Amino acid sequence: MDNFEFSNITEIVFGKDTESQVGAKVRKYSDADKLLVVYGSDRIKRNGLFDKVKASLDQENIKIYELGGVKPNPRLGLVREGIDLCRKENIDFILAIGGGSVIDTAKAIGVGVPYDGDVWDFYLGKKVPQKTLKTACISTIPAAGSESSLSSVITNEDGWYKKSINYDLIRPVFAIVNPELTYSLPAYQVGCGITDMMTHVMERYFTNTQHVDLTDRLCEATLRTMIAYGEKTLKDPTNYDYRAEIVWAGILAHNGLLNTGRVQDWASHRIGIEIGGKYDLAHGATLSIVYPNWMKYVYKHDVDRFVQFAVRVWNVDLAYKEKDEIVLEGIRRMQEYFKKLGMPLSFKDAGLPTDAFEEMADKATFGDTIPVGNFVKIDKAKMIDIYKMCAE
């Protein structure tokens, strides 16, 4: 186990009707009298959530400014619009209401407002943010784990580059999480979310770090919970207990606890991000395509770890004659599960063309100068190989 430091500043406010506490929670962390609400569609107005939030903020005499229209694979253009609005109106607190894309947008606006240059500099690695406006969120989609993570992923429409930043500075100060707010999500978005959560855990699980049995077991327990309750949630969408298990597991998957003392991988996310950036495919759907094929490509690097994964997570019987058979059966069961969630398993399933593999691999590796991943370093040529495996 490696040395590590663990902290997570985000206060999680979990449970029924917790969104009514938003005004008091903002006041706990700020004396702001102006607040920017970032959201996606008008669904939060049609279902009454926006009015409920506004009433709570009104009680604290906090004026609301709105920035709607966040899309999946959130756009840099809207981030810049939010930065300009905050500067113009002297806004110093941002509340995201939505899923990962909305929260990531809020985080990007937060670091962009006090910065003299272009916020995209951070995503290109040219600069490191030193300040941010305080952000918080009300989560309506269980998926990204952005509620308490140090990550933000943004897509630049100029060239369709999708890049991320990862800094403790951008963790929200609080996250309100009411599983009931996720009831109205379409089944496809639920499936995408569960897939995304599972891969967040697996990016941590497949490591070269030795003697990490405790976090192995934590990862395995989180995955088994997602597997157990994912299908149940789709079949019974308004069962609070099922939703609560999934929502809490998604937060734990990406709040930093599961990667303590170990080196993470993240190759599959970088490979999948380029698919999302190029074709605007939902993030979870890119991962259901990429992750099993990445596994097939790299598993011989540490067959025993993949055997452990197949046996402990997918209940594959050790009676199989060869380790390779155990590994491949585990991957097959995972793909079967993704399919039950309504996820694509290939470019063909997703209706995507297969003529941009080199372009995507070039973007992901910055012109083949920086390989992705840590478990196995994936350069441009290897990434193209994986994309080819994902084709059909």
Q: What is the pLDDT of residues 50-66, one digit of tens each?
A: 999 999 999 999 999 99
What is the CATH number for 91?
3.40.50.1970
Reported as a single tens digit per residue, the pLDDT across 249-269 is 999 999 999 999 999 999 999
Distance CA 35, CA 90 (A): 9
CB atoms within 10 A of CB 171: 22
What CA–CA distance (Å, rounded) separates 390 from 392?
Answer: 6
- Residue 259 structure tokens: 């990667």
Closest CA to 198 of 343, 11, 350: 343
Listed in order, strand segments (DSSP E) in 100-196 are 134-139, 151-156, 161-166, 174-177
Domain boundary among 166, 181, 196: 181
| pLDDT range class, residue 143, cuts 50, 70, 90 | confident
Do 211 and 193 fall into the same domain? yes
**For 255, phi and psi rounded to 5 degrees?**
-95, 0
The range of the structural domain enclosing residue 383 comes to 187-389
For tokens 């395509």, what's the residue? 289
Residue 185's pLDDT band (boundaries 50, 70, 90)?
confident
CA distance 111 to 104: 11
CA pair distance 241, 383, nearest whole angstrom: 40
Are residues 315 and 342 located together in one domain of the fold? yes
> What CATH number does the domain containing 225 carry?
1.20.1090.10
Instruction: Average the pLDDT over 84-91 and give the result.
Output: 97
Kindly state whether residues 232 and 296 are assigned to the same domain: yes
The encoded tokens of residue 48 equal 């009454």
pLDDT of residue 145: 84
Residue 23's identity, in one-letter code, is G
Clarify whether residues 176 and 193 are in a common domain. Answer: no
Same domain flag for 231 and 173: no
Task: Report if residue 73 sits inside a domain.
Answer: yes
